[in-house]
Homo-oligomer: A and B are copies of this chain.
Amino acid sequence: MAPLKPCLRMAGIQFLRDAFRCQKPLGPQHAPVRGYATPGPAKPRPYGGKPKPQPIVGTKPLVGTRNPASPTPAASPTPKVSPDLKPKTGTVVAPYWRISIGVLLCGSIVYSMFTEPLQLEAASIAERDTLAKRESGINLTSPMRLRMESFIKALQQEIVVALETLDPSQRFRIDTWTRPNGGGGISCVLQGGKVFEKAGVNTSIVYGTLPRPAIAKMRVNHKALDPDVESIEFFAAGISCVLHPQNPNAPTVHFNYRYFETMDAQGNCNAWWFGGGTDLTPSYLFDEDAIHFHRTIKEACDKHDRDYYPRFKKWCDKYFYIPHRGESRGIGGIFFDDLDEEEKDQEQLFSFVKDCLTAFLPSYMPLIQKRKDMPFTEKEKEWQQLRRGRYVEFNLVHDRGTSFGLNTPGARVESILMSLPLTARWIYMHDADRGSREERLLNVLKEPVEWV
């Protein structure tokens, strides 16, 4: 039997400990999601979402997989919130089950102590972070990586709950997974629903080691990186979302925001940066929808810097472009990357990214609510399928994020490719009719429009 590593021993002990004690709730100073960030005074939520759930305390990763087809452990009361995402505030879930697992784990540990010499290893940064989250929770003095992780996990819950209100008959499937070196992710996917053909909201946390060539590459944009070391510890936290609606009048939407940092052996942050963006991909263009989407994002940007929206809109138009088709994937939004201390200080940029993220639901929910029940023809559905084909082309051929993901050893491919639509179509030499709505869209995709 291979020796059980100290980290596994720690996990086993921690597991058992958790089974007997309550988790520490978050202090009031930490409220990651404070409404939907529509600028100005607080307004009633425009899309009538249910009250938002409290965030998962301490961001303990959820264990196990729930398939919506299989019976859930306990029927959840109204409002319908995915059981795995239900707020966990001071209650112990299934204590007997957890005790049994803990006993099993501890049994293995004891066995390994008798059969293998004890190998003492320093706890990794991931292990120390896990401990810190459990012991002290997250507050304003916590390292940025823990605050970003906590924020995106809470927002993921909120978005899943809001999307489930659109079609209460359909629930998200939730898969949680862990990475061998620390970190993991939560993938929430709904497919074949009445409103969404496919909808995915993912978070992922990665602890890893950057080898020398990767450091050299990153130094182009981040001079704070030390070029004279063989490797550097890094951390990445990201949230991404892609929604492909059933109705061809309703647009596909995507967002993805991430935080990246490198650390010394003690876990102190060295270099860091934020990246992300959001964009809208309609099959049929409604100018009012495009204007609403862009205006909502612009308002979130303007709160921080009047240059951000025009600058990041241009960046988005450039990024979400399909060169071999000579057209954009959609009608844009914003995109940015490598925003570090040369741009603004860390707190200001975190605040900016939080506002972008919080603007997502107000930017999209009114559109899907207006379009999801519109009548459509078979020909319009076919056109949507062709546009889905172009979405696949962009994601598989040109998207650097997808390419990076697929080339990362041990990556969870199902989570990366959840961005692909449920269905897509390629018709050889398809032509849009003259003066049609299809042609109008193609013209806009060839020449980006200033919507606000």
Contact = CB atoms under 8 A, between A and B. Distances in A.
B396 A175 contact: no
Contacts of A157: none
Contacts of A413: 324-325
A420 interface: yes
A428 B406 contact: no
Given A393-B396, A396-B392, A424 B427 contact: no
Interface of A: 173, 175, 189, 191, 198, 200, 323-325, 385, 389, 392-393, 396-397, 403, 406, 411, 413-414, 417-418, 420-429
Contact of A427 (B175, B422, B428): B422
A414 B389 CA distance: 13
A381 B324 CA distance: 31
A48 to B, nearest CB: 28
Contacts of A421: 426
Nearest to A416: B324
Closest 6 CB pairs of A and B: A396-B396, A420-B426, A324-B406, A189-B428, A324-B413, A396-B397
27 contacts: A173-B429, A175-B429, A189-B428, A191-B427, A191-B428, A198-B426, A198-B428, A324-B406, A324-B411, A324-B413, A325-B413, A389-B420, A392-B392, A393-B396, A393-B417, A397-B397, A414-B429, A418-B428, A420-B426, A421-B426, A422-B426, A423-B423, A423-B424, A423-B425, A424-B424, A424-B425, A424-B426
A417 B406 contact: no
A403 B333 CA distance: 28
A79 to B, nearest CB: 25
B392 A200 contact: no
Contacts of A417: 393, 426
A367 to B, nearest CB: 23
Contacts of A406: 323-324, 397
Q: Is the interface of A mostly helix, strand, loop or mixed?
A: mixed
Copies of this chain, tallied across the complex: 2
A206 B99 CA distance: 70
A390 to B, nearest CB: 11
Given A323-B406, A325-B413, A397-B403, 6 more contacts: A175-B429, A324-B411, A392-B392, A392-B396, A393-B417, A423-B425
Contact of A200 (B323, B423, B428): B428
A291 to B, nearest CB: 31
A173 B428 contact: yes
Contacts of A389: 420
A175 B173 CA distance: 46
A403 B393 CA distance: 12
Contacts of A393: 396, 417
Contacts of A426: 198, 417, 420-422, 424
Contacts of A396: 392-393, 396-397
Contacts of A428: 173, 189, 191, 198, 200, 414, 418
Nearest to A405: B324
A13 to B, nearest CB: 32
A235 B289 CA distance: 50
Most B C-beta atoms less than 10 A away, residue of A324, A325, A414:
A324
Most B C-beta atoms less than 10 A away, residue of A323, A413, A422, A429:
A429
A93 to B, nearest CB: 24
Nearest to A326: B413
A414 B430 CA distance: 9
A253 B420 CA distance: 24
Nearest to A407: B324
Contacts of A323: 406
Contacts of A425: 422-424
Contacts of A411: 324
Contacts of A385: 423
A175 B406 CA distance: 36
Nearest to A175: B429
A198 B425 CA distance: 11
Nearest to A392: B392
Contacts of A422: 425-427
A233 B191 CA distance: 52
